Chains A and B, each alone.
Chain A
Amino acid sequence: MFGAVAAALLVAMGMAIIRALKGPTVFDRILSVNTFGTKTVLLIAVIGFLQKRPDFLDIALVYALINFITTIAVLKFFEFSHLGTPIGEEEAEDL
């Protein structure tokens, strides 16, 4: 039964990759990578049950957090073109 769910998740991940390759905008790609990450979290949890190794859940937990940080960081990069604190107008004039 867990195998069926894992297979469904893998099929869905393949479909998400198709959208990531097709684009057309960079935001479509980020969106599909984000859902790919969510499915990876679920897949890790299901594999943990499939192999009867509950330690996998810790990895899934950490992966959920890393996935969130990745999405936010990539979006911030594409919105502001850099990751640091934007310097204000006054400071930019001082430089």
Chain B
Amino acid sequence: MTTTLLDVISWAFLLIGGASVIIGTLGILRLPDVYTRMHAASITDTLGAGMIVAGLAIQGGFSLVSAKLFLIFVFLLFTSPVSTHALAKAALTAGVTPAGTDRKSGKGAEAP
């Protein structure tokens, strides 16, 4: 009984994870410029990876497998903002013009 319940929960997690990976990639295809595409990419890195890892960890049970999955998730969480920030800064330094940016406060899109 409990195994079926756990299976259903883990399937739900895996489905949400797979769906958010596809949504994130769809965003990479649809959104207009590189800065907005980064937002879509971080859906894959956070919700997609987190949900798939959680679903797999429930299947793995309380074991070394789940511990390794947790470590994979932690590595992804720590590395993804660093590479996103490096990418955004490199794009801004190289002078990629942001699409449809309106200047709300501050100077706007010049590199500091």
Contacts and interface: CB of A to CB of B under 8 A. Distances in A.
Q: Do chains A and B touch in the complex (CB under 8 A)?
A: yes
A84 to B, nearest CB: 17
Interface in B77-103: 79-80, 82-83, 86-87, 89-91, 93-94, 96
Interface in A59-80: 60-61, 64-65, 67-68, 71-72, 75-76, 78-79
A65 B37 CA distance: 22
Interface residues of B, number: 47
Interface in B9-34: 11, 14-15, 17-19, 21-22, 24-26, 28-29, 34
A58 B28 contact: no
Q: Which residue among B37, B90, B93 has the maximum number of chain A CB atoms within 10 Å of its CB? A: B90
A73 B110 CA distance: 24
Contacts of B18: 4-5, 8-9
Nearest to A15: B25
A9 to B, nearest CB: 6
Given A31-B37, A42-B48, A12 B25 contact: yes
Given A5-B55, A18-B29, A57-B69, 5 more contacts: A5-B14, A31-B87, A34-B87, A35-B24, A38-B44
Interface of B: 11, 14-15, 17-19, 21-22, 24-26, 28-29, 34, 37-38, 41, 44-45, 48-49, 52-53, 55-56, 59-60, 64-65, 68-69, 71-72, 75-76, 79-80, 82-83, 86-87, 89-91, 93-94, 96
Interface of A: 1-2, 4-5, 8-9, 11-12, 15-16, 18-19, 25, 27-28, 30-32, 34-35, 38-39, 41-42, 45-46, 49, 54, 57-58, 60-61, 64-65, 67-68, 71-72, 75-76, 78-79
